[in-house]
Structure 1
Amino acid sequence: MPAAVSRQRLRLYLRITGAWIGLWLFIDAMTNPGIFLPFIPNELWRAAFLLTLHYTLFEHLVPWFRKRRMFLPLKILLALLAIWAISMLLSFGIYAWRSIGVAIGIYTEVMKFKSHMAGVRFQTSFSFFSVAFYGIIVHIHDHLKLQRTAQQLRIEKQEAELNYLKAQTNPHFLFNTLNNIYSLARLKSDLAPESILRLSKILRFMLYETGGAHIALEQELQVINDYIALERLRYDDSLRVSLHHDVEYPQQAVPPLLLMPLVENAFKHGASETRGHPFVDIHLSVKGRLLTFIVKNSADAPAGPVTENIGLANLRRQLELLFTDHHLQVQRGTDTFTATLTINLASHV
């Protein structure tokens, strides 16, 4: 793995060196159009030295200083010595490298210097500019890479949390449904086999249809209908249930079982706890990309603040992870409980 990382970093420095060569060849072509060709091997030869120097500087020396723990005055002294050494390499080293290239016939002396020190001084400003050039590009590259990594980690964390919430919600739904069947079984009701059959149908949907990120809205409506039919088996004719929907496009994609917690909540904490005439009214509307889901049910509890159960709490968190534009409002009246959910489906993250 470290070798692979080193190769990746080396490719980065090769790309930066390519940009450096291209920049100076362009400058050479503008300033010396008549003698442009000799500059090509010159820039390639000089770039080989700069590539080695800057790779060593930014990949080994600078990280070494960052990681080392030592007495602060000693660290400052070593840093000053390192700066001096780099300065010498940039000033004298690149001139010496130029001289080697001239000696072996690779580098063409386009410019003659009166003395070695004059040549060193000429190379100094050019060389320090190369430090800024490499350093800025490496810093920007690493900063953007760090941002991408942090964003990917956030996405993976959100996906893990969303999967955890779904894993909580589905067993919670199953537990409540099994309790309903248990009640029928205790009464030795003839409806128990039918309820098990309907539960089997819902479980089949949960196993095979909810593995992806989305399902068609008509599938969500179908499982809601199946759940309502399952709940009806527990009640006599006193229970009134209505489901109305106004959907322009039934194939509209929605997250699976997103609406179910509100329906489940209406039966478990509403209709089942109503002593008089229980009812559940459900209305779903989708206009364009705006989804509105209203669930109203009977409730004997007095009006006041709502204590949200695990189903509603999980639903709120799922909405936060899935959509940037949504609103869930729950309101308890004197004998009713109303949950209103609006989602801009186009705001899916």
Structure 2
Amino acid sequence: MKSKAIHIFLARLLLIYGLHLIIKWGDETFHHFFDFTRRGIYFSFFVISLWMLCLYLLDYIKKKWFTPRKKPFAYLLFCIAYGYVFALITNVVYRYTDIRYFGTDWGDIGYFNPMLILGILILFISALSFYEYFQTELTVKENQLLTEKLKKENAIAHYKLLKAQIEPHFLFNSLSVLSSLVHKDADLASDFILKLSRLLRFSIDRNEQMYVFLDEETDFMKDYFFLIRTRFGNSVTLKNDLDIPDRRDVILPPGTLQTLTENAVKHNGYGPENPLNIRLYNDKEFIYVSNNIIPKENPYESTGIGLVNLSRRFHLLCRKDLDFGITGENFTVRLPLISKTTDYAYLDH
């Protein structure tokens, strides 16, 4: 990110330097492009500094109030007005300083010079259009690279996830629970088989996808937790306090909630008298997965599907990292709440 910011800065500096040479070329008071007199150096420094500030201020305004691809005409009109204001500032401040400190005779040219302002405005709009075009092309290519990286990352993660779910311990424990249920509760055994099959099917079907919708992920997590609850009974509880009206708009990497639930179950000690309580909740920006900490005598060896891998996948998907840590007696993971329609419409499901 730092390298990209430097490249953008240098590209803008080169572009503005070239434009200011065009203005110099049109000003007969300068003898040539590279006029290194005190006045020439002042002019170059003033124009370059002002218009670099202009571009970075425009970046801030665009990020805060505009989405060019959704409001192209409003953005164009704003850029024209914005460029006019800075062209006027360039004219007024430079004329005042040039007359007062360098004694240049501007003749009948007043502070409001329509031709000069129009010329600078045309240069600004042309340069901005050129820059926006190549910025869009660069963004498209970056998104393509991110998409490929995310596909690779998810393929690795889901391979590990599927491997963990069909490893001997997982199957042995699931089949042991199932064998005991068959003789005690046929209906519960049937539900257990159904949830287990859906769990494995989800892992296989979503192996190539970069993301799933929140409602799919919560259904997947519920199937997984059903197996856990059947095995451990009241020793493990799950409270879903997610308050998100449109769960078909929120996306996240496949297996996210199941992975965090699995980690909580594996890395804590619990029992009927001291249950493990897992809670899901959210605010406007994040989804939280929290559980009470119960130290385990013999810590479970991780399968490799951990927070580091999950954080990398979130970063590739939304360029934000998940955050986790201990708050009081709880371990909490904070996940960025990603809206597909507002910021990530370029992704193909």
TM-score normalized with structure 1 length: 0.46
Report 1 or 2 for greater relative contact order, CA contacts < 8 Å, sequence distance ≥ 6.
2
TM-score, structure 2 normalization? 0.46
